[in-house]
Structure 1
């Protein structure tokens, strides 16, 4: 096309400029981070503590305990937990921020103006003054559109999009942590209640021994040493009851707060006197390495790095000129006779280029790049920590189960020893010290057994949490009452209509983060 055509056809110049706009994206395209070691990572403890089935249900792993109370507790926590509500609101915030970034692709300035001015002029000249009174009116529309020539706005959308997906992953991570914490606290409460029952039973047993020795001492058939030893042991065991009662109340209050309730009794939470169930292995839907990479917090770490990669491109656009299309339409008139209306049309491109920044732009790019590398290292560390947590939890489960089997036998032996020592003492074949020793060992072994059983269940819950189990939720991001309050306060448009928590499968694949 001959250059003379540009001067004769400004529209052609405008069309060509628009055609070239947005065709360049500065900055690096994000490359999903590889963790080569995880493909060959082997955890013997995890292999031993897990099993794979054809159709496992790791999305609702807590159902393996077959406890309807636990199911209800998790449902209540999903609906009312404050931290989960905050995570859902952050998703809505990121969704609105993405809308702000997307608006950059359209004209940034679209202003309508209107004015009305009253003129009162008094001129004194000669013998008679002359007065002039008039109104001046004006209206106009201004348009300014900075073209996305270097990818400033498309990179901003890319960063906001990755951040939005990261908030979704953080919401799912909040679900993983909440459900694990509810289950762990619930079984900790049941363990504390069982320990309290054992303490009270042993207190009653030792109290009867103390009363027997007291009667024997008063009748002169027993030494004071037996009386004082029995009393010491009874009072020592009795002193554990208030401590365990406080532990039960603290654990119950912690569970209530997780449900979004004030501290106090939970109506449907009835004491279950059965032992907490033991499960000797976690059911997994995939190999552990893949599960680790799909953990919501690991996904969020990678998505945050992708967002920061786009910000490098935004910073690099400052090296180049910004090309803006400007236009305005104006109309003005006055009430003075003989003055006609004025109509103005102004349009054309504008170029702004900061040539001398004294290193500000270069250093800003370096800042963004350093932040990207920090997030990449944070992602790698999150994968390492996830592997460590999974291996530690698997080891803890195996060792707790091993210890549980030993202590179960020890508790049974201690109970039998107490019965035998008491019978032999009554028949005069042994002294009272053996009775005291047997009763002391019984309480210790029973209490240790309950603690170890609780640790085994806690390790299994931690293992599911470490592998990212329990991230799915069909409930809305925010509860209906909060949604109604927000709608009354602010016009949210349709952003609150589609408010269900996103599926992890809907997040961008690792290979398409930069598509």
Structure 2
């Protein structure tokens, strides 16, 4: 009866798990973004939003980089390491068995180097140990390791999202600098024509030397800006190659073939703030880190309580001395070991306090990550909804300045206006064109920022392994 009572007591203790259980955090969020709709999004991780630019070259680069980008590959390797840690964390609560065998020949050598009294000894050993996880230390350790593994999956998604933003923005920049180079070369041709016209009129007595020098200076200033633009284009092309896991110079020739500036042709979709908790991988990372920290509280608390381990061993051996009959001997042992922490200077209790503080910190990190995500979407929405107005106004300005230049040039040829009017009109055209190209670039990058902010596109088509789902959600009640 005593043995039954002891076993029953151990089974009850084995069901105990120290520390709090993880509860998905909650915090109040608005029903919609200020400039968004009240319609919730689905799983935007599968949406290939960059196809809205309708640029097949960009589409190909994105697909290539998702499998070749070195940062993504590193994050995937960290998943393998985290998976191994789950096994390591859970192994402590399982029985261990170690076996071994040996054979030795013992003797002594005389002056004639003959063997005297040789003895053959053959032995084997087996030992077993089992630490009873009465208060859930190893169960909480495995729970923490599993949460860390989930965070590693989501961290890989963060790496993919970071790659998408970096690559698409770099491509947008490369095409922007190509547009600026083309505009500068066209302006250079126009200003050279004006310079030649001014020299002709100087010979005819219709222009002054000052007019010629001013026209020549404008040509020189245009020539001076082209090398810097070409350098910036190459820098963007070099970075694209690096993102694809290639040598920096390998993409220059391909991108020099040219292409128009990317302009997205799709609707603006933002979802609602609550969608971010499901779709943003960095928020899932923060939530999983909180789960791991909560489990570590249980690990620290379990160390305050006694531990019982069962261990045993058996070691048979056979001895065969020379010239006599052999014999055998078997040693064995089995028994429990009780370890009770009595005085440790307060280190174990301090470990619990540290674990609790770390969990509180991780909750605050999660909350901050959510609020930053909401801010990023609000900022991107505000920008995207106004970019088109800026681009439209600048297109009209380019048209107006070009018309002014045409009229000024015709008037100058007729002798009705000065060269200064023509040069000023050329400067205005150049400035308006550069502003328009910059606005188109900004509109394209703001669209990238919006889609990255809502957590879109890191699992295009659903072809790659998705991260494990997380139960976190937003609500109108504040978590404690």
TM-score (norm 1): 0.84
Paired residues for 1:63-74 under 5 Å: 63-74=51-62
Partner of 2:27: 35
Partner of 2:341: 354
Asked if the contact 2:66/2:72 (under 8 Å) is kept, the reply is yes
Cα 1:273–1:501, aligned 2, differ >3 Å: closer, same or farther?
A: closer
Partner of 2:67: 79
Select the residue among 445, 450, 472 that pairs with 1:510.
Answer: 472
Cα 1:55–1:160, aligned 2, differ >3 Å: closer, same or farther?
A: closer
Deviation, 1:153, is 1.1
Partner of 1:253: 238
Q: Quote the Cα distance in structure 1 between the aligned partners of 2:67 and 2:433.
A: 38
Paired residues for 1:249-398 under 5 Å: 249-266=234-251, 269=255, 271-279=257-265, 281-284=267-270, 286-336=271-321, 337=324, 340-398=327-385
Q: Quote the Cα distance in structure 2 between the aligned partners of 1:427 and 1:18.
A: 108
Cα 1:278–1:334, aligned 2, differ >3 Å: closer, same or farther?
A: closer
Paired residues for 1:82-481 under 5 Å: 82-107=70-95, 109-120=96-107, 133-266=118-251, 269=255, 271-279=257-265, 281-284=267-270, 286-336=271-321, 337=324, 340-473=327-460
SS of the counterpart of 2:20? coil
Asked if the contact 2:198/2:215 (under 8 Å) is kept, the reply is yes
Is 1:45 equivalent to 2:32 in the alignment? no
**Structure 2: unaligned runs, 5 residues or longer:** 110-115, 474-480
Asked if the contact 2:41/2:275 (under 8 Å) is kept, the reply is no
> Which of 1 and 2 has higher RCO (CA within 8 Å, sep 6+)?
2
Cα 1:159–1:260, aligned 2, differ >3 Å: closer, same or farther?
A: same
Moved more, 437-446 or 184-193: 184-193
Residues 352-380 of structure 1: CA distance to partner in whole angstroms, max 9, x if unpaired? 12211111111111112111111111111
SS of the counterpart of 1:264? helix
Deviation, 1:167, is 0.7
Deviation, 1:152, is 1.0
Q: Quote the Cα distance in structure 2 between the aligned partners of 1:379 and 1:387.
A: 13
Q: Quote the Cα distance in structure 2 between the aligned partners of 1:402 and 1:76.
A: 34
Deviation, 1:80, is 0.5
Asked if the contact 2:264/2:447 (under 8 Å) is kept, the reply is no
Deviation, 1:102, is 2.8
Q: How many residues align?
A: 464
Cα 1:56–1:291, aligned 2, differ >3 Å: closer, same or farther?
A: closer
Q: Quote the Cα distance in structure 1 between the aligned partners of 2:283 and 2:257.
A: 38
Q: CA-atom RMSD, angstroms?
A: 2.6
Q: Quote the Cα distance in structure 1 between the aligned partners of 2:62 and 2:331.
A: 67
Cα 1:275–1:471, aligned 2, differ >3 Å: closer, same or farther?
A: closer
**Structure 1: unaligned runs, 5 residues or longer:** 7-11, 123-130, 476-499
